[in-house]
Amino acid sequence: MRASPFFLAVALSAAVAELEDSCLACMCYVSSDGCVMPDEVCRTTSWSEVCGPWAVTKPYWEDAHKPGGEFYTCMGDWDCNEQTVRAYLDRYVSNPYASCETYARTHYGGPWGMNEDYATDYWLQVKDCLDYGLFTPPPSVE
């Protein structure tokens, strides 16, 4: 007996991993020293300008299909920041069984730098956050 296409699709969709809220919260926690909207939304680092609680760059936001329509406006908004991170990771993490480690490494290292030492260091900080329950979810906007 062959499975119908409908049941096969349902079974496959149930097996797809999703970015868990705790993982997203820990990436935020590590990226902004406690998952806070920085006083100055953007800051310049030695390698780029990073903005918002997830330390997003403009090319990252562009790869996420420019949510919010304007970069600096989006970076000052919690929901738009989260949309940006989720859209970016949806684009670059194609493994249906991806773990938080894959999401964190991709967030920090990009699709081609996830195995670099800096992405490993970032992942270990995210893992500590998860292991010790250090994160607090981003504020809900009502």
Predicted confidence (pLDDT) per residue in 6-59, tens digit? 333 333 344 445 789 999 999 999 999 889 999 999 999 888 999 999 999 999
Number of neighbours of residue 132 by Cβ within 10 angstroms = 9
Calculate the CA 104 to chain-centre distance: 7
Q: pLDDT tens across 81-104, in order?
A: 999 999 999 999 999 899 999 999
- For 42, 58, 108, the CA distances from 121, given in Å and listed in that order, are 22, 23, 10
Domains and their CATH numbers in the chain: 18-132 (1.10.530.10)
Position with higher pLDDT, 60 vs 96: 60
Residue 43 three-state SS:
strand
